Amino acid sequence: KNQVEQSPQSLIILEGKNCTLQCNYTVSPFSNLRWYKQDTGRGPVSLTIMTFSENTKSNRRYTATLDADTKQSSLHITASQLSDSASYICVVSASAHNNAGNMLTFGGGTRLMVKP
């Protein structure tokens, strides 16, 4: 069964500090992995999408890593800001074998709170 596990479930850090969120998956066959940021009361917004051949990808203060061998990904946030307070969701896409298209499996998310 395809699964995506995220840790920690929640995290509180002080403004300016760095943090790392983890994502482990058992999705197969792997197509791509995405990190989404979801602000309270809003829909998820894509931060980064990683394919099998990509190990690291950065988007401003966000850096995502992917280890396809161990089926792990991380999202590192540098110099956190109050606006980083949100839920971060890891989503893994499996390649489908029929016309239904690829299938997404969602992690439960990490709720990050950045305090001043």
- Judged by the rule CB under 8 A, the positions of this chain that interact with other proteins are 31-32, 34, 41-46, 49, 51, 89, 93-96, 99-104, 106-109
Closest CB to other proteins among 66 and 107? 107
Nearest approach, Cβ of 16 to other proteins (angstroms)?
A: 29
Shortest distance (Å) from residue 9 CB to other proteins: 11
Closest CB to other proteins among residues 74, 106: 106
Show the 3-state SS of the chain.
CCCEEEECCEEEEECCCCEEEEEEECCCCEEEEEEEEECCCCCCEEEEEEECCCCEEEECCEEEEEECCCCEEEEEECCCCHHHCEEEEEEEEECCCCCCCCEEEECCCEEEEEEC
Instruction: Name which of 14 and 100 has its Cβ closer to other proteins.
Output: 100
